[in-house]
Amino acid sequence: MSYEALPARALDRRELRDLVDELAADPSRWEGQVDFPEEGGRHYASLYRDAYVDVWLLCWRPEDDTGWHDHDISSGAVRVVTGTLLECNPRIGGEHLETVVSAGESFSFGPDHIHRLTGAVDGSVSIHAYSPPLWRLGQYSISDSGVMRRVSVSYADELRPMDDLDQAAEVGEVAVA
């Protein structure tokens, strides 16, 4: 499916999953964007964005971590094309749920989904699609005592763990507005 053939409306979870699966099957549409800069850090590139859908390519190393986040009002889908990602979902009063997502696998989620993604294998690559397009995201911290806090951020801000910042604030090392 070409981007021009996408419907002029928000896509549901099934359609988003179909989209990332279809894109993964055609590397000519994204392989030129794959990069692992020497200075480190997750590399991401916008593949497509219109009024109804937002598509990204992300390149991961094991130390790359989005931190806990949601996608505000957007549903989404992720397809791992090479390597492996680890998706974690928070559980109140228990161990967080961890799911290994390997090359060739995909998953979708609604706007109520809170998760954290990390690169489980060096050189992992994934394709992400969101509908409606991302504008805001919620980033979460979970303290050792179990308190969860949400901060609204722009889709243009790189997601990262907030836990280190929160721990420093608890001991008075940083100012929190």
Annotated binding residues for Fe cation, as ranges?
69, 71, 115
CB 115 within 8 A of CB 101: no
- Nearest Cα neighbor of 154 from 139, 131, 136 is 136
Residue 77, beta-bridge partner list: 108, 129
Binding residues: 69, 71, 115
d(C-alpha 25, C-alpha 130), whole Å: 18
Sequence-ordered strand ranges (E) for the chain: 43-49, 54-60, 68-70, 75-82, 84-89, 97-102, 106-109, 116-119, 124-131, 136-142, 148-154
In the three-class reduction of DSSP (H, G, I as helix; E, B as strand; rest coil), residue 20 is classed as helix
